[in-house]
Amino acid sequence: MSPYCPRCGAAHCRSAGVPHAFACLQCGAQFRLEQLQGQAYPGMPASAGAASGARLRRHLPWVLVLLAMLVSIPWWLPRLQPGLRLSLPAAWQAKAPPLALGRSEATTLIERNGQRLLVQLYENREHDDVVYRTVVRDAATGTSLGEPQRMAMPWAGSSGSAALQFFSDGQLYLFLKERGFWRFDPGTLRFVDLQPQLSARFAAQLGEGIVGVAPKGRDRPDSLEVTSRNGSKYLVYWLLGQIWPAADSSSLYEKAQAGYRQETAFYRYESLPRPTGEENRAVLVQSWWRHEPGQPLHFGYFDLQPGDSREVQTSLRSYVPIGDGYFTPRYATQDRGLLRIKVVQPAVPRFHADVMAENARRLLLAYNPSPVRQEGRVIQLLDKASQQVVWSRTIDQLPPLGMREGGAYVTGQAVSGGFLLLNDMRQPALLIGEDGAVLQDFSAAAEGAAR
C-alpha cells in the first residue's frame, strides 16, 4: 500500500524521481519515506493490527457462543444420542447392526411356521481371536430376532472356512474353520454345539477329544472329516451313525457298494479331455450309481473319454463304454459303483461350470460361455424330468448379484420354495422360485433402507 500524505492525508502518492522520495498527487508536497514511518493515516486505524482488532471485537459475541457450544459437547452429546437412534426409520435400525459384525461369510434361508428367516454368519478379527456371530432376521422386514450368537477361537492355527450346510434330514448345520460342529435349533433360533455328542457317539475313536471337523462336498452327502486329538482322521456319516478311518474309506466303500442293489442319479459337470495347455472344458452329465438306502454314498469323479479318442483306441482293455459314445476306466464301474451316464443336451462344452444347488425338481447351474471369467457367467434352472432349461439369465441381467470378476463369486443354494442367490459379497440378493420368478429382492430392500 502507498503511504498517506502527511500534509493533506491524500490516499495516493507517487515517486518524485528521487529514491525513497514521494510527491502528493493532491497538494504537491514532497517528503521522504523515513518521515512516514510510525505515522498514522488520517481517518484510518493506527495500524493493520488495530484494524484486525476492531474486526475481532465486532465478531466476538459469535466467537464466544461457538466456544461455549464446543465446551459443552461432552455434556449434551450423550443425552442426544438416544433421541437420534429413536428418530431413525425402523428399517435403518434393523440394517445398522451388521456394519459392526464384520464380513459376511455365509447366508441361508429357513422357514419356520410359514415365516421365512435369514440366517447370516459374520466373521470379525478381535485382538488375537477370530470371532463369528450368527444373526437371525425376518426375511421380509430385516428385523433381527434376538441377540447375535457369538463364537470365538484363536486366530493363530485356524484353517479352512466357515459354512452353513443343510443335510438330507432338512436340518441346518454350522462349521467354523474346521474347529466346530453345530446344529440350528428353530425353537430357540440358536446353534447347539454337537461336538460333545460326536465324541460320545464314537467314544472308541474320538473319546480323547476332537480338534477338527470339516464338511465333505456334495459328492459325499451327510459326511464329515473329523480329526481326533491324537491326530487320527475319520470319515463320519453323521446321520447314519457310521465312522470309518479316513485312510481306509476308499477300500471300505469299494466293498460296501458291491452289495448295493438299487441305484440313484447324480448331476455334475464332467471334464472333457484336452491337449496340454488348453482351458478346462466340461459337459453336464447325469450319472447313475449303485445305492442302498441307509448306507453311505460316494459319487466319485471319473475319467470321461470319447470312444474315438487315442486313449481308448490304444487301451481298449482298460476302458468300458459308459453311455452316449463315452468310455471310462474300469475302476470307476468296479470300485466306485458307476453304472452309466447320459450327457445333458445340448452337449456344448462349458467353462468354469458348476452345479450350484439342486432340489427334487430343478438344478441351479452356473457357467462361463468362454474361458474369460470377466466376460460374465450364465445362471440357469434345469428341469430334471425333461432336462430342459426353464430359466436362463446372464450376470448383467441380474444386477443384484454384482459384477465382480464377471460374477465369479456368486453362489446359490436350494431352500424351501426355491433357490437363494447370494451376491459376490456373500450377502442375500434374490430368492427365485423353481421357474425363475423373483420371490424376493433383498438388494431392493437394502437400498430402500439406505435411503
| pLDDT recorded at residue 26 | 59
Cα dihedral 404, 406, 412, 418 in deg (nearest 10): 120
* DSSP three-state, residue 90: helix
Using the structure block, give the residue that is written with the C-alpha cell 471334464: 271
| pLDDT recorded at residue 20 | 54
Say how far apart CA 309 and CA 326 lie, in whole Å. 9
Residue-wise pLDDT tens for the chain (451 aa)?
445 565 655 555 554 444 555 566 556 666 555 554 544 444 444 444 455 555 556 666 766 666 667 666 655 554 444 443 333 334 433 444 444 788 999 999 999 988 999 999 999 988 888 899 999 999 999 999 999 999 988 876 666 778 999 999 999 999 997 888 999 999 999 999 999 999 999 999 999 999 999 999 899 999 999 999 999 999 999 999 999 999 999 999 999 999 999 999 999 999 998 776 778 899 999 999 999 999 999 999 999 999 999 889 998 889 999 999 999 999 999 999 999 999 999 999 999 999 999 999 999 999 999 999 999 999 999 999 999 999 999 999 999 999 899 999 999 999 988 999 999 999 999 999 999 999 999 976 554 333 3
* Number of Cα atoms under 13 Å in the Cβ half of residue 13: 26
Cell digits for 100? Answer: 459392526
* Number of Cα atoms under 13 Å in the Cβ half of residue 357: 21
| pLDDT recorded at residue 23 | 62
Confirm if 337 and 331 have CB atoms less than 8 A apart: no
| pLDDT recorded at residue 6 | 58
Long-range contacts of 111-117 (CB under 8 A, 24+ apart): 111/415, 111/416, 111/417, 112/186, 115/139, 116/140, 116/416, 116/431, 116/440, 117/145, 117/189
| pLDDT recorded at residue 99 | 45
| pLDDT recorded at residue 58 | 65
Work out whether strand 319-323 and strand 305-306 pair parallel, antiparallel, or are unpaired: unpaired
- In sequence order, which residues have a C-beta less than 8 Å from that of residue 447 and are 6 or more positions away? none
Say how far apart CA 379 and CA 397 lie, in whole Å. 10
Using the structure block, give the residue that is written with the C-alpha cell 428399517: 91
Say how far apart CA 202 and CA 296 lie, in whole Å. 17
CB neighbourhood size of 352 (10 A): 19
What DSSP element (H or E) covers 68?
A: helix 48-71
Confirm if 290 and 262 have CB atoms less than 8 A apart: yes
Say how far apart CA 173 and CA 193 lie, in whole Å. 10
| pLDDT recorded at residue 171 | 95
The dihedrals phi and psi of 261, each to the nearest 5 degrees, come to: -115, -5
CB neighbourhood size of 59 (10 A): 10
Question: Would you say how long the chain is, in residues?
Answer: 451
Cα angle 34, 40, 43; round to 5? 140
- In sequence order, which residues have a C-beta less than 8 Å from that of residue 259 and are 6 or more positions away? 292
Using the structure block, give the residue that is written with the C-alpha cell 452327502: 221
What is the model's pTM? 0.75
- In sequence order, which residues have a C-beta less than 8 Å from that of residue 166 and are 6 or more positions away? 108, 172, 173, 413, 414
Confirm if 434 and 362 have CB atoms less than 8 A apart: yes
Quick one: which of 380, 364, 365, 379 has its CA closest to 419? 364
